Amino acid sequence: MDDPSKSGVPGVVPVSIGWSEGRDGLEREFLFEDFAASMNFVNQVAWEAEKACHHPDIDIRWNRVVLRLISHDEGRITERDFVLAARLSAIAEGSHGVGSSPRKA
């Protein structure tokens, strides 16, 4: 994202945590060693999303998981999306016990 103000959340740059901003929300792809590691990550995402009462769109393809965040109730990206994106990035990096760290694409 070139212009952090584009999202309406000043000073927040999702690129710094590996997310990109598009018209459909914040998006990031995570790659894992295998399907089991992908599902372990997705299950941890589910718990974090439930705690936040904010749920990402999730696409699972064997060792690839794509997460998309947008505040559907507001029809745009909000601070909640950036906060959850940071939490989910931390999970992926293993700080919350993911079975396999994502490979760098």
pLDDT digits (tens, 9 = 90+) for 31-74: 999 999 999 999 999 999 999 999 999 999 999 999 999 999 99
Give percent above pLDDT 90 in the chain: 65
pLDDT given for residue 28 in this prediction: 94
Higher per-residue pLDDT: 69 or 12: 69
Q: What is the CATH number of the domain that holds 87?
A: 3.30.1360.20
- Identify the residue whose tokens are 């459909």: 24
Strands 64-69 and 57-61 come out as antiparallel
Please give the pLDDT value at position 82: 92
pLDDT band for position 22 (cuts 50, 70, 90): confident
Please indicate, yes or no, if residue 58 is contained in any of the structural domains.
Answer: yes
The boundaries of the domain holding residue 27 are 15-92
Answer for the pair 60, 38: CB distance below 8 angstroms, yes or no: yes
Is 68 part of a structural domain of the chain?
Answer: yes
Residue of 94 and 97 predicted with greater confidence: 94
Q: Quick one: pLDDT band at residue 4, thresholds 50, 70, 90?
A: very low
Question: What is the token pair recorded at 74?
Answer: 């507001």
String of DSSP letters for the chain: ---GGGGT-TT--GGGGT-EEETTEEEEEEE-SSHHHHHHHHHHHHHHHHHHT---EEEEETTEEEEEE-BTTTTB--HHHHHHHHHHHHHHTTTT--SSPPPP-
Domain count along the chain:
1
The predicted model gives 13-24 an average pLDDT of 74
